[in-house]
Amino acid sequence: MDSAGGMRRFAEPAEPRTIIAAAGGRGVGVMGIRAVQAGALTEAIDRELAADDPDRRDYDRAAPFRRLCGELGVDPALLAHRYALTMAGVDTVVIGVKNRAELAMCVEAEAEGPLPEDLVRRIDALGLRGQL
């Protein structure tokens, strides 16, 4: 996770969790964005993307996340939103929904609450941080 995808406009390594921790240490609130990584953490991309598009590459790299979601019987977007809401130091998550179904899923994710620590560890063990 943690990818800027097609929004990336810098050469340095992305270090969002370092930035989140620094902000929290200074009493600055953090708004999480891209909870589903521009579609990379959903069941399927909803638009045509070239094979070399950063968001398409993120989607391809996130295949282990979708497999885990399949094992759990949960929609990847729902789990991604819950993960974002669970992240230490994130005060709120900006949702980018395109329709009522996506909005309903975000509301459901918030209602289900934070993920259990063991599930966060399973997601983190997929090794996607820093890759996406």
| Tokens representing residue 81 in the block | 């939103």
Q: What is the largest CA-CA distance in the chain?
A: 41
pLDDT along the chain (132 residues), means of 10: 62 80 93 86 91 90 96 96 90 88 93 94 86 49
| Tokens representing residue 8 in the block | 């990336």
Chain Cα centroid distance, residue 85: 10
pLDDT at 1: 53
3-state secondary structure of 51: coil
Where are the domains positioned within the chain? 5-21+28-124
pLDDT at 12: 73
pLDDT at 4: 61
* Confidence (pTM): 0.85
Question: CA dist 101 to 78, 91, 105, Å?
Answer: 11, 24, 6
Closest CA to 82 of 55, 120, 54: 120
pLDDT at 42: 92
